[in-house]
Amino acid sequence: MTNISDIKIGEQIEWKFGLITRYVYRASEDLFEIDETCGGWISCIVDLKTMIELHKGEIDLLSLDWK
């Protein structure tokens, strides 16, 4: 994945994580939306701190509040 700080506000990137491609949209300086379309369409909103922890592998995607 691209460096998180390189994602511009309003930009969406593809994030290949394991076998699944997710889409990361930077909504603001501190908020990101992660979309997954593998088994339907689910999304979650995370802040910059959480996004950095996800990128480093410090927290698991399964721990997020998917809707």
* Three-state SS at 43: strand
Q: What is the pLDDT of residues 5-31, one digit of tens each?
A: 899 999 999 998 778 889 999 999 999
- Give the pair of three-digit tokens for residue 59: 């927290």
What pLDDT was estimated at residue 18?
A: 76
Q: What is the pLDDT of residues 30-59, one digit of tens each?
A: 999 999 988 789 999 999 999 999 989 999
The residue to which tokens 């998180």 are assigned: 4
32 within 8 A of 39, measured Cβ to Cβ: no
Task: Give the residue ranges of DSSP H helices in 1-67.
Answer: 48-56
- Give the pair of three-digit tokens for residue 14: 């593809």
What pLDDT was estimated at residue 53?
A: 94
Q: How confident is the model at residue 1 (pLDDT cuts 50, 70, 90)?
A: low
Whole-angstrom Cα distance, residue 28 to residue 14? 17
